[in-house]
Each structure stands twice: as C-alpha cells, then as structure tokens.
C-alpha cells in the first residue's frame, strides 16, 4: 500500500543561506513526519548572519502558487513566516478564509517575523501593520519577546498576550530566546475565557477538550485582562547564536498539528525538536549556526 503524509501549506520567504525561511520550514515539517507545500512569498538576499535585501513576490503569483496546490492536495495545517508585503498578507488571509469554508478547524501557525535576529528588515511594508489581517486567523502565534513588545507596546508578557488575543489570535506562545538567563522560558497563553474553564478543578472532560493532561490543567494560572498563562516551558540556554530557530519552532508546531496532535503535545514536541536541532547546530561560516533539522 502507498504510504501518505499530511501536508502543511507553508507561506515563507526564500533564505538562500538555507538557515531560515522556506528551507528551514520544509526541513522542520519533514522532521515531524509531515510534508511541506512551500509557497514563496519573497526572495531575500542574505547569508547566515545578515539580510541584504528583500523582493516580495507579487500577490497574484502567491495566489497562483497556493491555488495550484490546494485545488489538488489536502492541507492539514498552515504555517506563515515572512509575507514580504501587506498585499501578500492579505492574499494569504484570503487563501485561509477559503480553506476554512471547508475546514473550519484548520490550524494556522503564524510566526510574526518582524525583522531578522540582527534587526534587518524582511518586509517592504510596515511589518506590524501588515500582520493585521492574519492575526484573527491564527490558531497559534509564536512571537519572541521583542516581537510581542513591538506588536503591542506592552512590556509584560501577560499584557502582551492579552493585547494579542484582543487582535483575534487564539493561542500565543511568547518565546524567550532573546532574553537573558540560563534558561529560555517559553510561555503559552490562551484567552482568559478558555483558560478560566481550564483552570477549574481539572475535570477529565475539560482536559480532553483542551487536549492537555489533568496535571497541566490543574497548574494553569488564570490572570485578568483577557489572557491566562496555560503553561510555561524552561529550556537550558544553549551557547551561541542560531539562524532560523523561530522558523524551526513554528514549522515544527504546524507539522505536529498536521499529524493531528492536541495543541499541548504539539507545542511540547516542537520545542523539544527545536532544542535538539539547536544543540546539534552546525557552522557554515563564522556567525550564526544552522539548526540541525
């Protein structure tokens, strides 16, 4: 019998260094046992450290790429990296809305890349404003601490998550790769209404609905202001700098969701996969290393 794999529709840019963007996403999705359908949103000029230029693909071309794939191939999850332009972000939103007419539960993982690790621009338009049509469609948003601050103007993770939920995204994983300390802390927030239910004495039914175990539900910490911390992970901080860590994490989450895993398991497995990829990262030149995916 022919074997098959669930597909992740990836919208991302080409990073010719192979560390981030489409290449990273295809490797990370494959690493979960799923298959990446790679729609190119932008061509970039970059090495393993710096971005020297960005050329967004025309929105019409993006739509043609997506249409050719989705007319023939079933999509089990969507992953969005850089869009390259506000017009491309709107086009991606259009594709997702159309897919959700048939698949209302289609998971969408949005990595709100505002700039490279060194702060180089990766969008033709204002990257924060360009994200607006995509936020209400995101099942999981994976900002790092810097991105969460730029998107909300809030300084505390809890307030950032509340503001991001108010923009319409469901789950927020604020990642701590850019913070200080011996550990990288990643925090998963859900809208308060959802998490209030989950923080009630851990009934098996509630736990099952969230796709989490009763222990996690029991530890959920409810906060005010529209966001609640569902769970936090602490990872030993690895030395050095990496090119494509955020892409690896978001694509791995999408791959896990495409396999049908509950969100808590998907977040857990994707972070473990990313940590190992960074631990085994390799050099191609001085500077940021490439995750071993």
Ligand X SMILES: Nc1ncnc2c1ncn2[C@@H]1O[C@H](COP(=O)(O)OP(=O)(O)O)[C@@H](O)[C@H]1O
Ligand Y SMILES: Cc1ncc(COP(=O)(O)O)c(N)n1
From ligand X, ligand Y, none, interface partner of 116 (C-beta below 5 to 8 A by class): ligand Y
Query: CA 49, CA 19: separation in Å to the nearest integer?
Result: 10
- The C-alpha atoms of residue 4 and residue 224 are separated, in whole angstroms, by 44
Q: Which stretch binds ligand Y (CB under 6 A): 14-22, 31-39, 260-268, 275-283?
A: 14-22
Contact 151, 159 (CB under 8 A): no
The answer to whether the CB of 276 falls within 8 A of the CB of 255 is: no
Stretch that binds ligand Y, among 94-102, 237-245, 261-269, 278-286 (CB under 6 A): 237-245
Return the residue of 6, 21, 145, 176 that touches ligand Y, per CB under 6 A. Answer: 21
Cβ at position 131, least distance to ligand Y in Å:
14
245, 274 Cβ separation under 8 angstroms: yes
Q: Which does 70 bind (CB under 5 to 8 A by kind): ligand X, ligand Y, none?
A: none
Selection from ligand X, ligand Y, none that 175 binds (CB < 5 to 8 A by kind) is ligand X
Is position 13 an interface residue for ligand X (rule: CB under 6 A)? no
Pick one of ligand X, ligand Y, none as the site partner of residue 278 (Cβ within 5 to 8 A by kind): ligand X
**Binding to ligand Y (CB under 6 A): which residues in 70-129?**
81-82, 113, 116-117, 122
Which residue in this structure is represented by tokens 């994490």?
249
Which 113-142 residues touch ligand X, going by CB under 6 A? 117
Contacts of residues 172-176 at CB distance under 8 Å and 24 or more positions apart, as own/partner, are 172/140, 172/141, 172/142, 172/143, 172/148, 172/227, 173/140, 173/141, 173/142, 173/253, 173/267, 174/143, 174/144, 174/145, 174/148, 175/142, 175/143, 175/144, 175/145, 175/246, 175/249, 176/144, 176/145
Q: Is 13 in the site for ligand Y (CB under 6 A)?
A: yes
CB of 246 to ligand X, least distance (A): 2
Rounded to whole angstroms, how far apart are CA atoms 52 and 244?
Answer: 16
Positions touching ligand Y (CB under 6 A) are: 12-13, 15, 20-21, 44, 81-82, 113, 116-117, 122, 243-247
Residues of this chain that interact with ligand X (CB under 6 A) are 117, 144, 175-178, 184, 186, 235, 237-238, 242, 245-246, 249, 271, 274-275, 278
């Amino acid at each position: 019998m022919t074997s098959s794999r669930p597909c992740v529709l990836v919208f991302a840019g080409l990073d010719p260094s192979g560390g981030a963007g489409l290449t990273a996403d295809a490797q990370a999705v494959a690493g979960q046992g799923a298959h990446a359908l790679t729609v190119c949103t932008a061509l970039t000029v970059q090495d393993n450290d710096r971005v020297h230029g960005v050329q967004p693909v025309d929105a019409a071309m993006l739509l043609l790429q997506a249409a050719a794939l989705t007319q023939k191939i079933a999509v089990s999850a969507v992953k969005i990296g850089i869009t390259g332009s506000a017009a491309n972000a709107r086009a991606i939103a259009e594709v997702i809305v159309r897919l959700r007419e048939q698949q209302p539960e289609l998971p969408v993982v949005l990595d709100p890349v505002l700039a490279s690790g060194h702060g180089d621009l990766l969008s033709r338009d204002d990257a924060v404003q360009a994200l607006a049509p995509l936020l209400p469609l995101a099942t999981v948003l994976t900002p790092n601490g810097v991105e969460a601050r730029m998107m909300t103007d809030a300084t505390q993770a809890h307030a950032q998550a509340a503001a991001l939920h108010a923009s319409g995204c469901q789950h927020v994983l604020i990642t701590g790769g850019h913070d200080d300390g011996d550990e990288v802390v990643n925090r998963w927030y859900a809208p308060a209404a959802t998490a209030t239910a989950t923080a009630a004495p851990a009934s098996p039914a509630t736990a099952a609905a969230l796709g989490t175990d009763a222990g996690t539900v029991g530890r959920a910490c409810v906060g005010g202001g529209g966001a609640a911390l569902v769970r936090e992970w602490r990872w030993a901080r690895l030395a050095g700098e990496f090119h494509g860590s955020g892409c690896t994490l978001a694509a791995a989450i999408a791959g896990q969701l495409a396999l049908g895993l509950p969100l808590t398991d998907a977040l857990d497995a994707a972070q473990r996969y990313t940590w190992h990829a960074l631990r085994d990262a390799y050099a191609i030149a001085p500077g940021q290393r490439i995750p071993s995916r």
